[in-house]
Amino acid sequence: MAGRHPGPQRLPLRAARLGVDRDHEPQPLPESRHGRPAQAGSHGQRPGDSPRGLPGGAGPLPEGPALGAPVPRLRLHRIPPRGARPLDRTDGGPEVRQDMEAPVTRPGLVLALVLALAVPIAAGEMTAKERVLWDRLRERIEAIDRTLDGVCGVAVRDHRTGATIELRADELFPAASTIKLAILYELFRQAEEGRVDLAEVTRPPLPRVGGGGILQRLGGRVALTWRDLSVLMIGWSDNEAANLLAGKVGMDAVNRRLDTLGLARTRLRRRMMDLAAAREGRENVSTPAELARLAEAVAYGTGLPAELARDLRAVAATPESHTAFRAALPEPLVAYTKSGELEAVRCEVGYVDLPGRPYTAAVMTTYLRRDADGEAAIRDVSAAVYDTFARLARASDLGRVISEK
């Protein structure tokens, strides 16, 4: 089948060293019922109202409970605080216990059923106590923004409830290397369509662009598969690999695919290290909200068959070393992340498969007086988000945590 890689030249994935389960599939997102929802936390709206939907809608994601049905209860997990060693994952992902009550069938209770169905109940809706923590997380993010000497945009999404926190989430920012996620997604979609064979071997020509990666350090006789190049592009942020893949799938095809995902403002406008194009204003761009949704499409393998979606996740989980976003996460935690940097620009996005409470976060910064300040802002936002979600994941609906002794 097109897209499989049987050859001996496949590069080893560092994700396996971190305990990534390549067969692991993320927990489905709550379904959006109202198109593009309003932004939570702005214009008087509260988080948890009207979540953004998964881009594309092509993935085989199960629907949530019917209107008025009891909400499934998540079993408790012990989630370690940031910096501690978490328990080993033994399951294939967060378990959901279906404590569903039997339907009401007695005639005397029909009226009660009708009245219950008249009140919309969102799957996994936040409790009042959870909203307190959620509001405080928003305040922490706003405090980080106020101290940054630059411009910051943030998008956070709770995949259990669909709640979002957004700060300049619809503003355009330079995407830097995070745009490579769009190239990766298009590569695997074309593999599924039979237009690209991921196992086909190619010889990267000389000269090669620099700025990141390892191909620039290799000789002219090196031969790699398209899949190998995708691993270099994501795990080592290799610019030459990204340019070769963009040339293979076509930049226009990448942008058309983004349109099908509803990501009309995310655009691949130039190749990596094309400074002349950048000076002309042809910058690769995205918004925090769209970048988060792009990461979700990659994590879910939207529109791909199961085998190819698993392989896409295996490539996406190849971690870059020492990124600001990952610095806040315990090492064995499954996360699909991509960072990017340019002068006065730092950005990073990640889908974090936290057991019981998966989430997505995107942080984009620009106009930085000091580049290191952008990295610090990303690290601090990621730490604040993880700390909040870890607490929510290991607690009951009332907030109690029962730790294993």
Here the CATH number for the domain that contains residue 150 is 3.40.710.10
Residue 190 to residue 327: CA distance in whole angstroms: 33
Per the listing, tokens 């499934």 go with: 72
Total domains in the chain come to: 1
What phi, psi does 152 have (nearest 5°)? -125, 140
| Residue in the structure block whose two tokens are 């910096």 | 83
How much is the pLDDT for 207?
A: 72
**Residue 358 near residue 333 (C-beta atoms within 8 A):** no
- 353 part of a folded domain: yes
CA gap 382, 230 in Å, rounded: 25
What is the residue-wise DSSP string for 92-106? SS--EE--PPPPP--
Task: Give the mean pLDDT per block of 10 residues along the chain (405 residues).
Answer: 45 36 46 39 39 38 37 38 38 33 38 35 74 97 98 98 97 98 98 97 81 79 94 93 96 98 97 89 97 98 97 91 90 92 97 96 98 98 98 92 75
Distance CA 235, CA 189 (A): 20
For the residues of 263-290, what is the DSSP string, one character each?
-TT-B--S-TT-HHHHHTT---EE-HHH
Q: Is residue 208 part of a domain?
A: yes
Instruction: Provide the 3-class DSSP secondary structure of residue 293.
Output: helix
Question: Within a domain: residue 64?
Answer: no
Q: Cβ–Cβ contacts within 10 Å for residue 218, how many?
A: 14
- Vertex 269: Cα angle to 267 and 275 (nearest 5): 135
What confidence score (pLDDT) does residue 35 get? 36
Q: For residue 9, is it within any domain? A: no
Residue with tokens 């279906």: 98
Which string of b and e fits 341-376 if b means at least 16 CB within 10 Å? bbebbbbbbbbbbbbbbbbbbbbbbbebeebebbbb
Q: Which two tokens stand for residue 61?
A: 């994601």
Q: Which of 327, 307, 372, 321 is nearest to 345 (CA)?
A: 372
Instruction: List 165's β-bridge partners, or say none.
Output: 156
pLDDT of 2: 46
Q: Are strands 164-167 and 151-158 parallel, antiparallel or unpaired?
A: antiparallel
Residue 75 within a domain: no
Identify residue 280 by its one-letter amino acid code: E
Whether 277 maps to a domain, the answer reads: yes
Q: Which residues pair with 317 in a beta bridge?
A: none
The reported pTM is 0.71
Element (H, E) at 363: strand 359-366
Q: Is residue 340 part of a domain?
A: yes
Q: Where are the beta strands (DSSP E) in 124-186?
A: 151-158, 164-167, 173-174
Spatial separation of the C-alpha atoms in residues 90 and 75, rounded to whole Å: 14
If 0-12 CB within 10 Å is exposed, 13-18 middle and 19+ buried, where does residue 110 land? exposed
Compute the distance between CA of residue 343 and CA of residue 352 in angstroms, rounded to an integer: 27
Rounded to a whole number of angstroms, the distance between the first and last alpha carbons of the chain is 49
Helix (H, G, I), strand (E, B) or coil at 227: helix
Please state, in angstroms and rounded to a whole number, the distance separating the CA atoms of residues 87 and 69: 33
Residue 26: its pLDDT value, please? 55
Residue 53, domain member (yes or no): no
Domain that holds residue 335: 129-394
**Residue 234 CA from chain centroid, whole number:** 14
